[in-house]
Amino acid sequence: MKQMSVKDHELARAYVPFQVYTNRFEPIEGLRRGTIFPELVRPYVKKGKNGYRQHREKN
């Protein structure tokens, strides 16, 4: 069997789409949320005992 070298292959390639930021939080709100860009806010969702995200029931 032929051994392959890492030198022969590209290890990774990132695809990062261009993002347009249209809004900004005020500085204090940005500090609270961890970003000044509303488009980047991703609320933390705690995982359940089974390892999957728990879905909140909508009222």
- DSSP conformational letter for 57: P
Question: What are residue 53's phi and psi, to 5 degrees?
Answer: -65, 140
Q: Give CA–CA dist 32/29, Å, rounded.
A: 5
Q: Is 53 helix (H, G, I), strand (E, B) or coil?
A: strand
Query: Domain limits of the chain?
Result: 18-43
pLDDT in 10s for each residue of the chain, 59 residues: 677 676 777 788 888 888 888 899 999 999 999 999 998 898 877 777 777 776 655 55
Stated pTM of the model: 0.46
Tell me what pLDDT residue 35 has: 93
Contacts 24+ apart (CB under 8 A), 23-28: none
Tell me what pLDDT residue 54 has: 66
Handedness of CA 12, 37, 40, 29 (dihedral sign): positive
